[in-house]
Amino acid sequence: MGAKILEIDEIAPAFKRYLIHEPVIARKHRAGQFVMILIHDHAERIPLTIADSDAVRGTITLVVQEVGKSTMEMGTMSPGDPIEVVGPLGKPTHIENWGTCVCVGGGAGIAPLLPIARALRDGGNRVVSILGGRTEELLILRPEMEEVSEEIHYTTDDGSFGVKGLVTHVLDTYIENCGQPELVIAIGPAVMMRAVAEQTRPLGIPTIVSLNTIMVDGTGMCGGCRVPVGGEPQFVCVDGPEFDGHEVDFNMLIKRQRIYLQQEEEARRRYLASHNCRAVAGGG
């Protein structure tokens, strides 16, 4: 098989976009699906949502935020490098003509939101997007999201762009002014998705969230990704990644995302230490 990186560009601080040649996955990809990648023999398998695909060119796009050792190391790869990619995994987003769909994206969650928003638009929906980031430059994929949205709102923590505050504030205002949408899709940090779900629950607005959990294989074999949904354990890799936001046990999800926090921190520290040493040695 042999997937290969074609292009890498930095779209925001610590955010890189990878264009990967992988014709089979490009042809099969549907909005909402993800891949597992492995960057070398000693690396870990990590799940990444497909941000875009081009069946004609045979490419998929991944947008990766550099948060730990694996994603930082991935950032040092170059065009032409081989990369192991398997997928497309997970259930595609269920698309139908709902009417108005509000797409709420936070931080790195904007990347997986893009293909879903596009599929909803193509499915005849009116797409209203509410995107949040810490600062203006961390609001990624703005032109792409604007292209698929009929209406778009931005929030930043520092007020450097759009409304100062949280996406939930804008969602509140939107519902107040324009009435209830038929569907809300929220993708972002677990605390953001929980806040959106809590906001729409009393209003009875169907709310879909896309979960990001620890996985080893991504095909239902390890069960490491399991999260209680409606009181029943669900495997995010094969039963999801999208679930009814009102049924997800976000508290458990947040705890389970932190299982390997200590090891992740150790790996990151070691990586940065060795990386900086090399940089210093190279500079000398």
Partner 1 sequence: MPRELTKKERLAIPRHPMPAVDPAERVQNFEEVTIGYTEEMAVGEAERCLECKKPKCVDSCPVGIDIPAFVDAVAHGRFSQALAIIKADNTLPAICGRVCPQEDQCEQTCVTGNKGDPVAIGRLERFVADYERGRGEIRMPRCKSPSGFKVGIVGSGPAGLACAASLTMEGHEVTVFEALHKPGGVLIYGIPEFRLPKAIVRDEIRSLTEMGVEFKCNFVVGATATVDELMGEWGYDVLFICTGAGLPYFMGIPGEELIGVCSANEFLTRVNLMRGFDFPNYDTPVAIGRRVAVVGAGNVAMDCCRTALRLGCEKVICLYRRTRSEAPARIEELEHAEEEGVDFRWLAAPVEVLGNEDGIVTGVRVQKMELGEPDLSGRPRPVPIEGSEYVVDLDSIIVGIGQGANPLLTQATAGLDVDKRGCIITEEITQMTSIPGVFAGGDIVTGAATVILAMGAGKLAAHSIDCYLRGVPMVAEEEAKDDAENDAGLAALIPSELETRTQNGAM
Sheet holding 100-106, edge to edge: 163-164, 151-156, 126-133, 100-106, 183-187, 207-210, 242-244
Question: At 188, which amino acid appears?
Answer: G
User: Least distance (Å) from partner 1 to the CB of residue 239?
Assistant: 10
Residue 1 binds partner 1 (CB under 8 A): yes
In angstroms, how far is CA 152 from the centroid of its own chain? 19
Q: Which stretch binds partner 1 (CB under 8 A): 94-102, 169-177, 181-189, 252-260?
A: 252-260
User: Least distance (Å) from partner 1 to the CB of residue 84?
Assistant: 5
Burial of 158 (0-12, 13-18, 19+ CB in 10 A): exposed
Q: According to CB under 8 A, which one of 111, 185, 192, 227 is a site residue for partner 1?
A: 227
Instruction: Considering only residues 24 through 63, tell me which ones interact with partner 1, judged by CB under 8 A.
Output: 24-25, 28, 38, 42-45
Backbone angles phi, psi at 197, to 5 degrees: -60, -40
Q: According to CB under 8 A, which one of 55, 191, 259, 279 is a site residue for partner 1?
A: 259
Residue 87 binds partner 1 (CB under 8 A): yes
The binding track of 114-153 with respect to partner 1, each residue x by CB under 8 A or -, is ----------------------------------------
- What are the tokens at 100? 């108005």
Q: Which stretch binds partner 1 (CB under 8 A): 96-104, 139-147, 170-178, 226-234?
A: 226-234
- What are the tokens at 28? 């099969």
Residue 256 binds partner 1 (CB under 8 A): yes
The binding track of 58-77 with respect to partner 1, each residue x by CB under 8 A or -, is -----------xx-------
Q: According to CB under 8 A, which one of 238, 246, 247, 275 is a site residue for partner 1?
A: 238
Whether the Cβ atoms of residue 204 and residue 211 lie closer than 8 Å to each other: no
d(CA 216, CA 8): 25
How many CB atoms neighbour CB 78 within 10 A? 7
Whichever of 251 and 276 has its CB closer to partner 1, that residue is: 251
d(CA 184, CA 7): 33
Nearest Cα neighbor of 12 from 75, 79, 54, 105 is: 75
Q: Is 92 helix (H, G, I), strand (E, B) or coil?
A: coil
Residue 258 binds partner 1 (CB under 8 A): yes
User: Least distance (Å) from partner 1 to the CB of residue 10?
Assistant: 23
Q: Is 270 helix (H, G, I), strand (E, B) or coil?
A: helix
User: Least distance (Å) from partner 1 to the CB of residue 248?
Assistant: 12
Residue 92 binds partner 1 (CB under 8 A): no
Q: Which stretch binds partner 1 (CB under 8 A): 57-65, 85-93, 133-141, 149-157?
A: 85-93
Cα torsion through 46, 207, 98, 180, rounded to 10: -140
DSSP assignment letter at 157: S
- Which residues of this chain interact with partner 1, rule CB under 8 A? 1, 24-25, 28, 38, 42-45, 69-70, 84-89, 216-217, 219-224, 226-228, 233, 238, 249, 251-252, 255-256, 258-260, 262-264, 266-267, 270
